[in-house]
């Protein structure tokens, strides 16, 4: 019999219906696990002191009405760059230490309206500037598979919360890999909706033209349920799409992938990539073929060009977005910015300055357009593209020291899809050195149902959806 922390959303709801346990039981179970393991892993920065009270209300609702809301009584971990009423939001920066938001982000409001209970706020790279959580002003989160390794980032805390089984599901955000990369390093499932599918209102901005809220969970089925809840037009965010939100879970459960065309991106098998990592991706391609999909090699722009393109665009937008943190309206002095944030502000201000805008920012946007055009063309033939999520497994703690481009290098295989606003998943596909490796499955913009369907079929036909034993984690 599964333990409470091992249950999926559907299994939690089934347990509620049968009376096997209550919401109070489940929330208390997670809070006890957090109390035990968080001091070692540094995943949660703040806990919700109303969680058990909210669980009592859920139990009352279930007794009176049954389960009528999609996420009723589901304990979730929330990345600490989403504004949450009554719960501090710091973006892991000393500038916002102790900050209590005056309103709720649209994404977290939708989760609450669906019945979710927030256990607390999770660690991230300061202002999401990084791919490791090592830039957090409150110390790095450690990887539950091996505490000498990093969990990835910037949603490292949320990914680690699922890996350590400290919540049923978690919320993250991605600018250029910040959901999928930590999901891969922590061996969990992460899903990035298309840009504009989920609202950015109330999310502390990093790069406004690529920021995308999305879920991390035990299975792709759970991410589909959450994506269903958080998606849709928001009158408070003009960048959200008016496209109808399809009922994503109904597209799952396919027995095979007959008729599906998948492109294996040859440029994503980097010359510097370890052979055992490459082999796992090739094995995943074979598994997709065995499920009926047609998998052939395709070519994209060399991912090295995404590094410079994303670096210029993101830092330009960062310099603009962080201008509001002046120590006057809210927050502390700008001296409290961490070194990584300062570097990004300086580079972004430089690229937008007179005489350099055309040479850098405008050129980066032109390359971005070429990337989008290339994806548009290739998706006329293929339903999805696959490759590794990251060049290798989780790196050691301290790997970011003296590496100002660490994030870009570790997200090199994801940046093109994020810059183009595409949708995609990270799903476990094997292990090297006892550390998980992730497979990216990427689809065209607003093809969430297709990405979820393919990922679900792959995940149900593989056995890599494993979780570490924290009692044995070194």
Q: What is the mean pLDDT of residues 98-114?
A: 97
In what helix (H) or strand (E) does residue 441 lie, and over which residues does it extend? strand 435-443
State the distance between the two ends of the chain, measured CA to CA, in whole angstroms.
26
CB of 149 closer than 8 Å to CB of 435: yes
Query: Does residue 304 carry a catalytic annotation?
Result: no
Q: What is the CATH classification number for the domain harbouring 295?
A: 3.90.1300.10
Domain containing 368: what range?
7-460
Q: How far apart are CA 404 and CA 416, in angstroms?
A: 20
Q: What is the mean pLDDT of residues 3-19?
A: 98
Residue 474 lies in a domain: no
Mean pLDDT of 107-121: 98
Sign of CA dihedral 389, 77, 451, 303: negative
- Asked if the model's pLDDT at residue 22 lies above 80, the reply is yes
**Cβ of 463: how many Cβ atoms within 10 Å?**
8
Instruction: Kindly report, residue by residue over 279-304, the tens digit of the pLDDT.
Output: 999 999 999 999 999 999 999 999 99
What is the predicted pLDDT for the residue at 199?
A: 98
Strand 384-388 vs strand 169-174: parallel, antiparallel, or unpaired? Answer: unpaired
Is 471 a member of any domain?
no
Question: How many structural domains does the chain have?
Answer: 1
CA distance 166 to 64: 28
Q: Which residues pair with 426 in a beta bridge?
A: 190, 440
Whether residue 470 is contained in a domain is answered as no
Please check whether residue 287 lies inside any domain of the structure: yes
Q: Is the pTM of this model over 0.85?
A: yes
The confidence band for 157, taking pLDDT boundaries of 50, 70 and 90, is very high
Peptide bond before residue 154 is cis, with ω within 30 degrees of 0? yes
Of 178, 194, 231, 390, catalytic = 178
Q: Cα 89 to chain center, whole Å?
A: 18
**Tokens at 289, concatenated:** 């073929």
Q: What is the pLDDT of residue 42?
A: 98
Tokens of 370: 């070429």
Q: Tell me what pLDDT residue 25 has.
A: 98
- The answer as to whether 270 is a domain residue is yes
Q: Is 449 a catalytic residue?
A: no
Residues of the chain with pLDDT > 70: what percent?
A: 100
Determine, yes or no, domain membership for 466: no
- Please tell me the distance from the alpha carbon of residue 180 to that of residue 160, in angstroms, as a whole number: 12
| Helix runs in 231-337, H state only | 275-290, 304-321
Query: For all residues of the chain together, what is the average pLDDT?
Result: 96
Active site residue: 105, 131, 132, 154, which one? 154
- Is 52 part of any domain? yes
- Is position 178 annotated as part of the catalytic site? yes
* Statement: residue 474 has pLDDT above 80: no
pLDDT in the model for residue 326: 85
- 451 falls within a domain: yes
pLDDT, tens digit, 9 for 90 and up, residues 210-253: 999 999 999 999 999 999 999 999 999 999 999 999 999 999 99
pLDDT in tens, 350-366: 998 878 888 899 999 99
The widest CA-to-CA distance across the chain, in whole angstroms, is 67
Percent of the chain with pLDDT over 90: 91
- Output Rg (C-alpha) for the chain, integer angstroms: 21
pLDDT for 29: 98
User: pLDDT per residue over 381-436, tens digit each?
Assistant: 999 999 999 999 999 999 999 888 888 889 999 999 999 999 999 999 999 999 99
**Predicted local confidence at residue 255, as pLDDT:** 96
pLDDT of residue 177: 96
At 328 the pLDDT is 83
């Amino acid at each position: 019999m599964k333990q409470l922390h091992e249950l999926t959303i559907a299994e939690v709801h089934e347990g509620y219906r049968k009376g096997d346990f209550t919401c109070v039981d489940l929330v208390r179970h997670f809070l006890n696990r957090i109390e035990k393991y968080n001091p070692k892993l540094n995943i949660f920065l703040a806990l919700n002191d109303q969680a058990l009270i909210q669980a009592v209300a859920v139990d009352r609702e279930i007794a009176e009405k049954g389960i009528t809301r999609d996420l009723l009584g589901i304990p979730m971990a929330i990345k600490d760059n989403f504004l949450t009423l009554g719960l501090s939001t710091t973006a892991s920066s000393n500038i916002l230490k102790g900050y209590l938001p005056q309103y709720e982000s649209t994404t977290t409001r939708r989760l609450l309206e669906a019945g979710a209970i927030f256990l607390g706020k999770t660690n991230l790279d300061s202002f999401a500037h990084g791919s490791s959580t090592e830039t957090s002003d409150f110390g790095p989160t450690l990887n539950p598979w091996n505490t000498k390794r990093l969990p990835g980032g910037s949603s490292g805390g949320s990914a680690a919360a699922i890996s350590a089984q400290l919540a049923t599901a978690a919320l993250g955000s991605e600018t250029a890999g910040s959901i999928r990369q930590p999901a891969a390093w922590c061996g969990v499932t992460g899903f990035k909706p298309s840009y504009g599918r989920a609202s950015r209102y109330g999310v502390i901005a990093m790069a406004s033209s690529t920021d995308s809220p999305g879920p991390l969970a035990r299975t792709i089925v759970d991410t589909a349920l959450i994506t269903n809840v958080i998606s849709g037009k928001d009158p408070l965010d003009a960048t959200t799409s008016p496209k109808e939100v399809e009922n994503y879970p109904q597209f799952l459960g396919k027995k095979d992938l007959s008729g599906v065309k998948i492109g294996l991106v040859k440029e994503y098998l980097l010359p510097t990539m370890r052979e055992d990592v490459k082999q796992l991706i090739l094995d995943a391609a074979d598994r997709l073929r065995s499920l009926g999909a047609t998998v052939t090699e395709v070519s994209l722009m060399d991912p090295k060009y995404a590094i410079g393109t994303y670096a210029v665009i993101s830092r330009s937008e960062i310099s603009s977005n962080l201008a509001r943190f002046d120590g006057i309206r809210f927050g502390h002095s700008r001296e409290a910015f961490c070194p990584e944030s300062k570097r990004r502000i300086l580079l972004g201000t430089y690229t937008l300055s007179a005489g350099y805008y055309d040479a850098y920012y405008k050129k980066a946007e032109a390359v971005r357009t070429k990337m989008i055009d290339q994806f548009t063309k290739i998706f006329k033939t293929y339903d999805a593209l696959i490759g590794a999520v990251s060049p290798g497994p989780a790196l050691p703690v301290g790997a970011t020291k003296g590496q100002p481009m660490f994030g870009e290098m570790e997200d090199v295989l994801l940046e093109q899809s994020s810059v183009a606003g595409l949708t995609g998943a990270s799903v476990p596909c094997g292990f090297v050195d006892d550390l998980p490796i992730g497979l990216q499955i990427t689809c065209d913009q607003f093809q969430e149902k297709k990405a979820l369907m393919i990922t679900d079929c792959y995940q149900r036909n593989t056995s890599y959806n494993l979780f570490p034993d924290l009692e044995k984690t070194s």
